[in-house]
A = this chain, B = another copy of it.
Amino acid sequence: MSLVTADISVSLDLVAAGHDQSLEHPFGPVVGDRLHPWMFEHGDDSPDEIAGILRARAYVMGRHMFGPDRGAWDLRWQGWWGSEPPYHAPAFVLCSRPREALTMAGGTTFHFVTEGIETALERARDAAGEGDVAIAGGPSTLNAYLGAGLVDELRLHVVPFTVGDGLRVFDGVEDLAMVPASSRTTPHVTHLVYRRTSP
């Protein structure tokens, strides 16, 4: 069955990005370098979790996940990832101004959606066919989908340090109940999987 999944790396205090995104620091200077070594430096500890992140057949992301400030409608901006982004699938970018689809090397096409989170998800579902759709972040976009009850499987990758301030998963998401599915600890990260309660 096709699922809506979301993987997100967070600090112990659930921060997924700083408030201070910039061209140099897409996740903010304090947070960015510390959230992702579990994938890049210590990926051998977490092969299944990394494979899970790459399994989706379509992605939805927020404006800031695609670019800084006006990135989503500045035609010169082609995303944070260079010419071959790691998605290798259609990616639907939530934004407020129209822009033509942008085809990159390696199978990623960015589609810009101005009609809101439900439309973006619907288009991603259509694109994914039988495959999963992943909410690729950032935290505000994920929180919007969590709050709307649209995420079937949430995979938190908890990195053991606190930040103190930033954009947190679950901010503004009130009274959401989930089903704890699994947890696994490596020396560098704790992987927590939660599923949506049955409707």
Contact = CB atoms under 8 A, between A and B. Distances in A.
A172 B173 CA distance: 21
How many residues of A sit at the interface, in one of the four size bands? Answer: 35 or more
Interface in A1-60: 12-14
Given A162-B170, A162-B175, A175-B163, A183 B180 contact: no
B182 A161 contact: no
A164 interface: yes
Interface string A71-97: 000000000000000000000000000
Contact of A189 (B170, B177, B180): B180
A2 B188 CA distance: 26
Interface string A86-127: 000000000000000000000000000000000000000000
The number of times this chain is found in the oligomer is 2
B164 A177 contact: no
Nearest to A161: B177
B190 A183 contact: yes
B187 A183 contact: no
A128 to B, nearest CB: 27
Given A185-B181, A186-B180, A160 B194 contact: yes
A176 B161 contact: yes
Contacts of A172: 164
A13 B173 contact: yes
A161 B178 contact: yes
Given A14-B13, A173-B13, A185 B187 contact: no
A180 B185 contact: yes
A159 to B, nearest CB: 9
A12 B160 contact: no
